[in-house]
Amino acid sequence: MDDLDNDYDEVPVTPGQGEQENAESDDEQQDWRMLAAIGSKKSLPKRGEKEYEPTGSASDRNNLDESRQAMYTALNGERQHTSKVHISGIWYPHLRKAKVLVARGPHFKSIGKADSSGVIWLLPEEVIYLVERGSMSLYNARGDAKISLQACYAACLGACQGQERYLVYAYLKRLGFIVQRATTFDESGEERIVQKPDSCRIQRIWKFLVQKFDSFCTGLRLAIARKIPSFGPIICGGLWRSYDSIYKELQIIPFYSHRGSDLTPKSTVAPFRVAYNVWKPRPSFKKSNPGEPDFRVVVVNAQKDKMPTPAQTGALFSTLPVFHDSTSTSQQRLREGYKNVIIGVVDYGIISFITLGDVSFGDEHIYDRHAASRLSKHHTTKKRQA
Amino acid sequence: MQMVENDAADLIPISFIDGEYFAFDIEAVKRLRNDHHVAGILVGTLPQVPQQSTFLGLPVQLMPEEAALLVQKGVARIIDEGSRHEAMLAVDENDIDEATAKLKINEVESAGSESQGQLVSFTTPALSTVNRVALPESSVGAVYDTPRFDVYKYLHERGYFILPGLRFGSQFLAYPGDPLRYHSHYLVRGLGYGEEFSLLELVGSGRLGTGVKKAWMVGGHVPEDEQHKLATLNSSKTIEREGSEPIEDFVSFCVEWAGFG
């Protein structure tokens, strides 16, 4: 156990990609016989091959028995930690939180919240996660009973606001990500756009004025040309210095732009609210000042929830900040969108991730030779397997 | 509500927590898998190798259909973990005696943990020892008579292992043997008898299934008045099978993409 204790804060042994490729290519292909190899090596074993169907042969039977035995042995492993990294706490059901008594080890860099007197409190999902991996001893409020894994689930799961949320939380934590509840985790939480509103408003007003001035100039130019028939060519007369300006005049079909979309956050209704903010693992991470999250995650239940309607998607996007990346290419913007959010879909323990992006197709001028720097509109939500 | 512990000792305990069904006991997991071909999904972190999601640990999560069928067959019972642990977890909000609790915890920790030289190790058990509180069969009654349950039961009775269908966008996946060793054969969709479904679903699911070397299976329970009609139509077939299944009460079809022309 001792060598494993040192691995706690380690970034995952496999990067997410390989894992997902496998998961997508077919159903899970774990071969538990290969798990024994993990202890000594730093990389996960390759997944095993599966057969088409039972043949009834002795080797078939033997393989199955070995796989099952390896799995049962692994499942029987103890949840254990040493005093060097000891964490203990008391679960207070009425507060739906656990008070930490002893806090050793690296977990608290990204987990828990200290109150004004310096006592660290853990949220229910943090408690289950720590107990489940054997890192924490949890006691009841009277201090007379140690809480088993079973009792820990019974006590904390209801306070996680849905088991699907806990599963997504634990999945991301296991892969090494830093995960915190978003302000919209609770039904009553406020939506909040994290970007600075002032600079943004000035920017918006400026862009609005530029646009107005631009259309005024065009109007003026056409008026001067004195050829504005209600039918006939769209482009006529006037002075045209580049093809770009002509193409721009030809752009007469209205389209969606994220710039025109509502900038005041609308109210969202569960489940289509951001549940968790997620950061990539980094040594400089501070709980008190985490900075902008790398990902935002919404959690839905495959059995109870449907795909979000355009109204729900719109409301969700209105609560998200716009990415400002001047170096991104047109292709990147079409892929990632100006805003995006990850949806974790859970079906009785099986998790899939989907990214929803707010993409402005019309803003990417294919006639523009310097496509890297420009703007404008069409609404589409883009799905891809995360 | 409380069952006599002795009478029920050989029933597999299924934990009911916050609307979901779990198995926390390794012996229960073995019995479910070996004797009842119910695999469930491992959802916990494996304590030996916690920083990965390929190999997961206890608990095993079960679908409501699994819990309901096991109860219906009389091999399992549902344990209400909430009320079972209520007394143990309870606290008087106005009278929290933290100092005493801490003292007790210190005692427990210094006595209960094993010493390995300089290092002391602490272990969390998987199971509680508190008396179990069993729920009556009616607690899973709402699951019976749903198309999902009907198709689950139909396949389970024929020896299939059945897992949730999210990976391929169906209700269930049906495996001919333990999913540890074998690939699934069917993407399963349960329907009510006479329930209409979109042709596009047939095309989409049929093609998807064929694309991943599986078939799309659709089936429904036949209501009693229809069963007799079917029985007359298939009278020759029914007689052959007499004894085991006198009347067919389920119809199912498999769709594979043939790819003509």
Best A30, A132, A299, A352 member to test B by mutation, with max B CBs in 10 Å, is: A132
State the number of CA atoms in the 13 A half-sphere of B37 facing the CB. 17
pLDDT at B116 over 90: no
More confident of the two residues B219 and B239: B219
Domain boundaries, position A270: 162-191+256-386
Residues A279 and A335 in one domain: yes
pLDDT digits (tens, 9 = 90+) for B212-233: 889 999 999 988 887 777 777 6
More confident of the two residues A201 and A10: A201
Q: Which residues of A touch B122 (CB under 8 A)?
A: 80-83, 86, 88, 137
Last residue of a domain, one of A75, A100, A117: A75
- Evaluated on CA atoms A5, B51, A129, A30, the torsion sign reads negative
Mind telling me the catalytic residues of B?
Answer: 175, 183, 214
Summarize the confidence of residues A285-296 as an average pLDDT: 89
If pLDDT is split at 50, 70 and 90, which confidence band does A213 have? confident
Residues A42 and A30 in one domain: yes
Residues A230 and A270 in one domain: no
Last residue of a domain, one of A217, A234, A250: A250
Distance from CA of A151 to the nearest CA of B (A): 6
Last residue of a domain, one of A54, A75, A96: A75
Indicate the helix (H) or strand (E) that contains A235. none
If pLDDT is split at 50, 70 and 90, which confidence band does A150 have? very high
Asked if residue B78 lies in contact with residue B135, where contact means CB atoms within 8 angstroms, the answer is yes
If pLDDT is split at 50, 70 and 90, which confidence band does A136 have? very high
Domain count along chain A = 4
* Structural domains for chain B: 1-140 (no CATH), 145-261 (3.40.1350.10)
pLDDT digits (tens, 9 = 90+) for B76-100: 999 999 989 988 888 877 777 777 7
| Residue B171 DSSP SS3 | coil
CB contact under 8 A, A77 and B47: yes
pLDDT digits (tens, 9 = 90+) for A46-103: 556 788 888 888 888 888 888 888 889 989 988 988 888 889 899 999 899 999 988 8
pLDDT at A188 over 80: no
pLDDT number for residue B130: 82
| Mean pLDDT over each residue of chain A, to the nearest integer | 78
If pLDDT is split at 50, 70 and 90, which confidence band does A14 have? very low
- Percent of chain A at pLDDT exceeding 70: 74
pLDDT number for residue B249: 85
pLDDT digits (tens, 9 = 90+) for A167-176: 999 999 999 9
Closest CA relative to residue B220, chosen from B199, B189, B256:
B189
Closest CA relative to residue B15, chosen from B66, B52, B49:
B66
Summarize the confidence of residues A187-201 as an average pLDDT: 58
B209/B258 Cα distance (integer angstroms): 12
pLDDT at A206 over 90: no
Q: Two tokens at A30?
A: 């774990």
Nearest by CB to residue A171, choosing from B49, B53, B119, is B53
Summarize the confidence of residues A305-319 as an average pLDDT: 88
Residues A113 and A180 in one domain: no
Q: Residue A364: which CATH number?
A: 3.40.1350.10
pLDDT at B181 over 50: yes
pLDDT at B1 over 60: no
A384/B165 Cα distance (integer angstroms): 19
More confident of the two residues A235 and A97: A97
Residues A117 and A44 in one domain: no
Residues A308 and A204 in one domain: no
pLDDT at A41 over 50: no
Q: Residue A133: which CATH number?
A: 3.40.1170.20
Residues A205 and A296 in one domain: no
Helices (H), A185-276: 197-225, 243-250
CB contact under 8 A, A68 and B96: no
pLDDT at A209 over 70: yes
Q: Is B117 on the interface with A (CB under 8 A)?
A: no
CA dihedral A299, A302, A304, A305 (to 10 degrees): 60
Residues A187 and A92 in one domain: no
Task: Write the DSSP string, A165-194.
Answer: HHHHHHHHHHTT-EEEE-TTSSTTPPP---
Which strands, in side-by-side order, build the sheet including B172-175?
A: B161-164, B172-175, B186-190, B215-221, B250-255
Residues A245 and A264 in one domain: no
Q: How many residues are recorded in chain B?
A: 261
- Evaluated on CA atoms B45, B47, B51, B52, the torsion sign reads negative
Q: Which residues of A touch B113 (CB under 8 A)?
A: 83
DSSP structural state of residue A51: B
pLDDT number for residue A331: 79
Residues A329 and A371 in one domain: yes
Residues A312 and A367 in one domain: yes
Residues A138 and A217 in one domain: no
